[in-house]
């Protein structure tokens, strides 16, 4: 089995697109044979800082039905309402 691959800018664009398609981090690590820190460097724009803008344009071209339903930032948007836990017991 070959060693870890170096990420290219094309890989960074694909990593952004995969994030917006909700591909799990574990799958990305396996696909690119790299440490998860390399993926986070792409998402935090420490490496390939222009890749997010390129990925957004490519995502809009490939997935026109999802273009208005996708947040193109690097932060996750919670899909559920936060649980109140047991705070209701104190009322």
For 30-67, write each residue's pLDDT tens digit.
999 999 999 999 999 999 999 999 999 999 999 999 88
Return the half-sphere exposure (C-beta side, CA atoms, 13 A cut-off) of residue 15: 32
**DSSP conformational letter for 78:** P
Alpha carbon distances (Å) from 53 to 33, 36, 49, 72: 24, 22, 9, 9
Kindly tell me if the per-residue pLDDT of 3 is higher than 70. Answer: no
Residue 82: predicted pLDDT: 64
Kindly tell me if the per-residue pLDDT of 1 is higher than 50. Answer: no
Kindly tell me if the per-residue pLDDT of 90 is higher than 80. Answer: no
As a whole number of angstroms, the distance between CA 43 and CA 46 comes to 8
As a whole number of angstroms, the distance between CA 30 and CA 62 comes to 23
Tallying the residues shown for the chain, one arrives at 91
């Amino acid at each position: 089995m070959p060693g870890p691959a170096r990420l290219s800018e094309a890989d960074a664009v694909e990593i952004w697109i995969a994030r917006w398609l909700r591909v799990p981090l574990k799958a990305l690590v396996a696909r690119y044979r790299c440490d998860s820190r390399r993926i986070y460097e792409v998402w935090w724009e420490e490496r390939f800082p222009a890749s997010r803008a390129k990925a957004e344009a490519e995502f809009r071209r490939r997935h026109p039905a999802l273009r208005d339903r996708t947040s193109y930032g690097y932060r996750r948007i919670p899909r559920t309402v936060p649980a109140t836990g047991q705070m209701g017991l104190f009322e």
